[in-house]
Chain A
Amino acid sequence: MIGGLTRMIDSVFGRGDAAVTVPSLDGALRPNRALDEATDRASLQTVDCLAMFGDTLVASAGAELFELGSNGTWDRRTDLGSTITCIASLPDGIVAALQNGDIVVHGGVRDGRRYRLDPASICMTDMAYGEGTLYVAVGSATKGADAWQRDLLERNASGSIWRIDLDSGSASRIAAGLAWPAGVVVDGNGLVFSEAWQHRLARVDLERADTPRVLIADLPGYPGRLSKGADGFWLAMFAPRSQLVEFVLREPAYRSRMMAEVPEAYWVAPRLRSGRSFYESLQGGGVKHLGILKPWAPTMSAGLCVQLDRSFQPRSSLQSRADGATHGVTCAVEHRERLFIAARGDDVIVSVARESLVTDREDGR
C-alpha cells in the first residue's frame, strides 16, 4: 500500500524508480578512445563471440567459426549449420550454443556431442566451463538471442542460469527470474553473471546455491559477456545506457505503440551500431555542427570494454565514443598477452597489448 503510493508519487515527480538518471562515465570508466586507437584491427562480418580452442583463438560469426591464423588473419574453420549465439572454451575443445537450442561440442573427446537444456530454451547468451560442468546463461524464456531489444523494451525478467553435467548430459537450473543474464564466468566456488537489464553483476555460490549477491550495480551500460584474464576479469558492455531509453522504458504507452508501429531498426532502443540510417531518431546533442558529430553526443551505441579486478570492481576501460568506429563490444578475451575485443556493431575485432593498456589507463588517471 505504502509502496504503491510511493511509486505513484515517484512517477509524478520522476523520482526513485521513475528517475531516468544514468550514472556518468567516471573514474575507471572515464571516456577514452582506446578502442578506436587500437591499430590492430581485423574485419569479420557479424563477429560475435570469442573463445580459446587450446592455444588458438576462435571467433563465432553467424553460423561459422573462424580461427586466428599465425599471420593475424581470420580463417574459416567450420560451419555449424545454425546461427551460433555464443561459444565457450573446454579443456580440449570448444562448445557452441546454437539458435535452434542445441549446445554442440567441437573438438576434443566429446566432439560432436549435443546437449539441450530444455525444449524451450533457445536464448543462450554465454557459457562457462568449470570442472566437468558447463554453466549456461539463458537471456530470456520467450525471446531469441537476437531479439534482445524487444526483451528489454518489454521489461522482461525471464532469464535463467543452468548447469549441464557434460558427462551425463543432465541439466539443472541454478537461478531464474533474471533480467537478461548475458555473461557468466566461474570464480572459485561461485559463478558470477551479468544481468543486463538490471545493469549489474551478481555472484551465486555454487555449493550453497543461495540467492545471488550483487557485486556491482548501476553500471552505465548493459553488461554482457565476462571472461577471465590474467589478473582479473573482462566485461564487454554491448550498449550504453541513455536517459532517453530509460525514459522510454518508463512510458508503457509509447513503448507498446513503438514496438507495434515503428520498424524495429528505428526504435528508440540501445543498439550495437547506431547512426547509420536517417530514419533512426536523433537526440539533441547528436545534431552535427559544422559537419562534426560531437564525441559526447548522446548515442544508442558505443564501445565499452571494462577491466575488472579480482573482486569485480572496474579498474580501467577501453571505449569507443559516439563518433567512434568500434561500437557494440560483444566479447573480450585475453590471448598471448593481448586483449582481443569483438565489436559486433562494426564487424571488427581489435586487439591491444595487455601491458600497454593497464599502464596507460593508470597513468591517465
Chain B
Amino acid sequence: MTLSDSIVRWRYRLVPDHLLGEILTKRWVDNAIPLLILACVMAVFGSLIPDFFGAASVSNLMRQWGEFGLIVMALTIVMVAGGIDLSVGSIFALGNIVALTLMHVAELPVPLVVLFTMACGAAVGLVNGLLVGFLRLRAFLTTLVTLIIVRAVVDMILLKYAVAIAAVFPDSDFWFFFGEGYVLGLPFSVVLTIGVAIVLHLVLSRTRAGWHVLAVGGSRRSAHNVGIPVRRVICATYVVSGTLAALAGVLFASRLGAAGADIGIGLEIAALTAAVLGGNSLGGGRGSAAKAVIGSVTVMIMVNSLVRIGITSGGSSLLLGLVLLGAVMIDVRWLKNRQKFLSKVYVSPTYSALPAAPATDGASPYALNDRLRPVEAIGLDRIDGPEDVILDANDNIYVGNRTGDIVRFLAPDYDQQEVFAHVGGRPLGMAFARDGSLVVCIGGMGLYRVTMDREIQKLTDETNRSWFSVIDDSRLRLADDLDIAPDGRVFFSEATVRYEMHEWPVDCLESRGNGRIICFDPNTGTTRTVLKNLVFPNGICMVHDGQSFLFAETWACRVSRYWFDGPKKGTVETVIGDLPGYPDNINRASDGTYWLALVGIRTPALDLALKMPGFRRRMARRVAPDEWLFPNINTGCVLRFDESGRVIETLWDRSGDNHPMITSMREHKGHLYIGGILNNRVGRLKLDGVDETWTAKRSYWGQS
C-alpha cells in the first residue's frame, strides 16, 4: 500500500462522513440554524452589555419571556396548521384588562378569574376559528379585523374601568404568585410556559390530534382526502391560540397590574418574528414547541438588549422587521434546498481496498467454462425476480417475486404455478424450519414465517437500537438471507441500514460496513444484533457442526465463518478472502461442501475507484445515478467450496444468455435450482455424480 493510500485510508477511517447525511435526514436538524442564531445573539449582546448574564438581568428577562413564550406558542399552533393569527397581541391585551377588571373591580376568586379570562380568549379564538375554519375566510384578513375589533373592546373597557382598577389593590398572595412567585427557583410564568411547551411538544409529536394539525398544515387537501376533519382542526387551533394568549394576559396582569392603552401593541409582529426565526414554516406543516421556544428566547433577548443599549423604539422595530425578513428568507431557502443538499451528501463512500482478484482463466479454480449452458428455464417470463429458491419435501419450488408474493411451482414438471402467499414486501432469503413452516426474510418488512396452511406470521421487524447510531437502526430495512440453527434460533443478515431495498447497489459505492447479522430466538421471542459493521452481509448458511455459520459479505468479496456456540463462540474467521466477484447466497451441497452464488464479477475500474473515496463521492454528486460506475452484476456464476475455503468447482454461463443474473442456488435431489433477483426464470441444472436422494431438509432436520 502506498503512502497516499494509507493517508486516504486513515482519513476515511477517522472522519465519519456518513454522519452529515444521516443528521440531515433528521427532523430536528431544522432547529440547527435557529439555535445558531440564538447562540450568535447571546454572544453579541453578552459581550456588548455588561452584566448580561447576571442574576437580576436573567430573572427579569425570564419573567417577560414566560408571557412572550406563551404568545409565540399560541401563534405557532395556528401556523403549524397552515394559518396565521395576528390577533394574539390584542387578545393578550384583552386578557390583561379582563383579568384586572375581574380581580380588582368584580373581586372574584382567583381560579374563577383565570378561568373566565381564558374563556374570554377562547371565545375570541372561536370567532377566528369559525370565520377562518368553517366560513373559509382568509386567515390574514380575518385575524387583522379581529385584532382591530378586540383592540377597540379593550379601549372601551379601559375607558370604563381604568380608574377603578388603579384604585383597588387586591389582597391575594395567590394572585400575585402568578406574576412574582417562584417554583423550584424559577419564576412561575417560566415554569408554566415550559410546561405548556412540553405538553405542546407531546401533542404535536405523539398524539393523533397533533398529527392532524401537522397534516392539515402540510397539505390541506391530502388531509381532507384521508378523512381528517380539516375545518374543525383549523377552528380548534384558533381556540387554543386565543386561550394561550389570554393566559399570557393573566400573567402580565398579575405581574404589573397596569391597565395601559399601549399594552400588546406590536406584539403580533414580535411573536411572528420569533415563530419564524425559530424555524416554524409560514406555509404550515413544519413546526414544534422547541422552535417556538428558541425563536421566542432569541427575539426576547434582542428586544430587551436593544432597549438596554439605548436604541430608540423606532430602531428596535426596524431591526425586528429586518430580522423577520431575514428569517422568512432563510425559511424559504432552507425548505427548498434541504432535500437537494441531502441527496448530494447522503452517499458517502469510504476507503475499501480489495485484495487482488484471482484470474478467471487458465488453471484457476474460477476458470471460465460453459457448465451452465444445459440449464433449463422454469417459469420463463412468468416470474419476476426470484431472489431465492427453495424446495419442499414434495419437490415443489418456492420463490419470491418483485410484487410481494411467494410463488409455488408445482412438481413434477413445474408448468403450473400458484401464489402460495402474498406477503406484500420483497421476499428474499428463505429456509424451512423444523416444523415445516417457511421462514422468509422480507425486504422492507423483516423476518416472517409462512406456515404450510399459508398463514403469515411476523417473527420480528426490529432489533436493539445502537447507542451511537444517528439514524434509527432498530427497524429492519433490508433483511436479506437467513438460516436456522439446530436449536431453532434464526440468524439473518440485514444488508444495509442506510439504504432501502431498491437502492442496494448504491451501498456498493459506499462500501462501508453498513450491514449486520441479527439473531431471532423463537424460544424467548427476542431479537438481538450479533455482528455489526459488515460490508453488505448477504448469504448465511449453517455449518454442519451446529455451532457456527458461514456468511458472505458482498461488497467485501469474502466469505467468513462465525461461531455462535461452542468453545470458539463469538469469533469470526475469514474462509475465502479474495473472491473474484460479489458473493450472494450460500447453501449446503450434498457432499458436505457449500454452494455459493457470485452475483457479479469485480471490474478493475471499480476496484480502483473503491480505493478513491473522493472520486466516488464526487461521482455521486455530479453524475446521474443511471450513469454511476456500478458493480458488474450482469454476469455471475455458481461455485462450490469447502469449510477450509478451498474452491472446488465453478459453474459459468460464458455467453450470459442462458441464465443471466444469479443470486442463489439450492441443491435438491441431484439438481441445482438457480434464482436471480433481476431474472425472469428459475434455472434447473442436472448435477452429475451426486447423491440423488439428498435434500436440504434432511440435511438440516434429519429423517422426519
> Could you list which residues of chain A lie within 8 angstroms of chain B, going by C-beta atoms?
14, 20, 242-244, 247, 251, 253-254, 257-258, 261-263, 266-268, 278-291, 293, 298
* B627 and A289 contacting across the interface, CB-CB below 8 Å: no
Top 7 A-B pairs, shortest CB-CB distance: A285-B626, A290-B680, A278-B635, A281-B605, A282-B632, A262-B604, A243-B627
- Residue on A nearest B509 in the bound complex, by CB: A284
As a 0/1 sequence over residues 626 to 653 of chain B, the CB contacts with chain A under 8 angstroms (1 = contact) are 1111111111000000000000000000
B628 touching A257, Cβ below 8 Å = no
State in angstroms the CA–CA spacing of A291 and B379 once bound together. 14
| 18 residue pairs bridging A and B, Cβ less than 8 Å apart | A244-B619, A247-B623, A251-B618, A253-B612, A261-B604, A261-B608, A262-B608, A267-B605, A278-B603, A280-B605, A281-B629, A282-B634, A284-B626, A285-B627, A286-B630, A290-B680, A291-B680, A298-B627
Taking a contact as CB atoms closer than 8 A, the residue among A20, A266, A285 that contacts B604 in the complex is A266
A298 CA to B600 CA, complexed, in Å:
18
Partner of A14, one of B604, B622, B624: B622
- Known interface pairs A261-B608, A268-B605, A278-B603. Does A287 touch B634 (Cβ–Cβ under 8 Å)? yes
| Chain B residues within 8 Å of A266, by CB | 603-605
B674 interface residue (CB < 8 Å to A): no
CA distance A21 to B626 in the complex (A): 13
Known contacts A20-B623, A280-B603; A287 and B630 CB within 8 A of each other: yes
| A14-B621, A281-B632, A288-B634 given; 10 more Cβ-contact pairs under 8 Å | A243-B623, A244-B628, A254-B612, A278-B603, A281-B603, A282-B631, A283-B629, A285-B627, A286-B630, A291-B657
Q: A20-B623, A282-B634 are in contact. Are A244 and B608 (CB under 8 A)?
A: no
Quick check: is B446 within 8 A (CB to CB) of the other chain? no
B460 at the interface (CB under 8 A from A): no
Nearest residue, chain A, Cβ from B614: A253
Given A14-B621, A286-B634, A288-B678, A262 and B605 touching (CB < 8 A)? yes
Query: In the complex, what distance in Å separates the CA atom of A278 from the CA atom of B680?
Result: 20
In the bound complex, residues from chain A placing their C-beta under 8 Å from that of B681 are: 291
Bound CA–CA A125/B635 (angstroms): 36
**Contacts A286-B630, A287-B633; A279 near B623 (Cβ below 8 A):** no
B629–A291 touching, CB < 8 Å: no
B109 CB within 8 Å of chain A: no
Cβ of B601: which chain A residues have Cβ within 8 Å of it?
278-279
> A251 is contacted by which of B615, B630, B656 (Cβ under 8 Å)?
B615
Tell whether, in the assembled complex, residue A253 and residue B627 are in contact, meaning their CB atoms are under 8 Å apart. no
Chain A residues with CB under 8 A of B626: 283-285, 298
Contact with A along B466-505 (1 / 0, CB 8 A): 0000000000000000000000000000000000000001
Contacts of A261 in B (CB 8 A): 604, 608
Give Cα A287–Cα B508 distance, bound, in whole angstroms: 14
In the assembly, what is the distance between CA of A261 and CA of B660, in Å?
A: 29
Q: Are A258 and B634 in contact (CB under 8 A)?
A: no
Q: Are B618 and A283 in contact (CB under 8 A)?
A: no
A279 to B384, CA, bound (A): 27
| In the assembled complex, B195 has its CB within 8 A of some CB on chain A | no
B576-610 toward A: CB 8 Å interface, digit per residue (1/0)? 00000000000000000000000011011110110
B139 proximal to A (CB < 8 A): no
Q: How far is the CB of B574 from chain A (nearest CB, A)?
A: 24
B625 touches A284 (CB 8 A): yes
Also in contact, A291 and B679, with CB within 8 A (given A244-B623, A283-B628, A285-B627): yes
Distance in angstroms between the alpha carbons of A173 and B679 in the assembled complex: 57
B622 contact set on A, CB distance < 8 A: 14, 20, 247
Identity of the chain B residue whose Cβ is nearest the Cβ of A262 in the assembled complex: B604
In the complex, what's the smallest C-beta–C-beta distance from B623 to chain A, in angstroms?
5
In the bound complex, CA of A262 to CA of B628 (Å) = 18
Give the chain B neighbours of A287 by CB distance below 8 A.
505, 630, 633-634, 678
CA distance A67 to B604 in the complex (A): 41
Q: A244-B629, A262-B608, A291-B661 are in contact. Are A282 and B623 (CB under 8 A)?
A: no
| A14 and B410 alpha carbons, distance in the complex (Å) | 55
Nearest chain A CB to B510's CB is how many angstroms away? 15
Cα A100 to Cα B661 with chains together (Å): 45
User: For residue A251, which residues in chain B have a CB less than 8 angstroms away from its CB?
Assistant: 615, 618
Centre residue among A243, A254, A258, A293 by max chain B CB count within 10 A: A254
In the bound assembly, the distance between CA atoms of A261 and B605 in angstroms comes to 9
Chain A residues with CB under 8 Å of B630's CB are 281-284, 286-287
Distance of A251 Cα from B615 Cα, bound (Å): 7
Please, which residues of chain B bring their CB within 8 A of the CB of A291?
657, 660-661, 679-681
Best-buried of B606, B623, B633, B656 by chain A (most CB within 10 Å): B623
Residue in chain A with minimal CB distance to B634: A288
Q: Is the CB of B661 within 8 A of A288?
A: yes
CA distance A279 to B366 in the complex (A): 14
Q: Give Cα distance in the complex from A279 to B600, angstroms.
A: 10
Instruction: Name the A residues within 8 Å of B678 (CB-CB).
Output: 287-290
Q: How far is the CB of B495 from chain A (nearest CB, A)?
A: 17
| Chain A contacts for B679, CB-based, 8 A | 290-291
* A14, A261, A266, A282 — most chain B CB neighbours (10 Å): A282
Cβ of B603: which chain A residues have Cβ within 8 Å of it?
266, 278-282
Closest to A255 in B: B615
Given A281-B629, A287-B630, A287-B634, also A257-B608 (CB < 8 A): yes
What's the Cα separation between A279 and B628 when bound, in Å?
A: 16
The residue among B612, B632, B633, B657 with the most chain A CB atoms within 10 A of its own CB is: B632
When C-beta atoms are compared, the residue in chain B nearest to A282 turns out to be B632
Q: Which residues of B contact A267 (CB under 8 A)?
A: 605
Known contacts being A258-B605, A290-B679, is A243 close to B633, with CB within 8 Å? no
Q: Which residue of B lies closest to A267 (CB)?
A: B605
Q: Which residues of A contact B621 (CB under 8 A)?
A: 14
Chain B min CB distance to A248 (Å): 9
Are the C-beta atoms of A254 and B615 separated by less than 8 Å?
Answer: yes
What A residues does B625 contact at CB under 8 A? 284
A293 contacts which chain B residues (CB < 8 A)?
634
A166 to chain B, nearest CB (A): 45
Residues of B within 8 A of A290 (CB): 381, 384-385, 678-680
| Chain B residue with Cβ nearest A260 | B608
Tell me which residues across on chain A come within 8 A of B605, comparing CB atoms. 258, 262, 266-268, 280-281
A262 to B385, CA, bound (A): 33
The verdict on A280 contacting B632 (CB below 8 Å), with A243-B623, A247-B623, A290-B679 known, is: yes
Minimum Cβ distance to chain A for residue B435 (Å): 35
Min CB–CB distance B1 → chain A (angstroms): 13
Question: For the complex, what is the distance from the CA of A262 to the CA of B604, rounded to whole Å?
Answer: 6
What CA separation (Å) do A253 and B618 show in the bound complex? 13
**A213: shortest Cβ distance to chain B, in Å?**
32
Q: Which residues of B contact A285 (CB under 8 A)?
A: 626-627
Question: In the complex, A244→B624 CA distance in Å?
Answer: 9
Taking a contact as CB atoms under 8 Å apart, the answer to whether A254 and B608 are in contact is yes
Nearest B residue to A247, CB-CB: B623
B344 to chain A, nearest CB (A): 10
CB contacts under 8 Å to A, within B507-524, are none
How many Å from the CB of A88 to the closest CB on chain B? 36
How distant is the Cα of A266 from the Cα of B385 in the complex, in angstroms? 29
Name the residue of chain A whose CB is nearest to the CB of B680. A290
Residues of chain A lying within 8 A (CB to CB) of residue B606: 281
* Contacting residues, chain A, for B608 (C-beta < 8 A): 254, 257-258, 261-262
> Chain B residues near A268 (CB, 8 Å)?
605, 629
With CB as the reference atom, state the residue of chain A lying closest to B637. A278
Collect the chain A residues with CB atoms within 8 Å of residue B505's CB: 284, 287
Return chain B residues, CB-CB under 8 Å to A280.
603, 605, 632
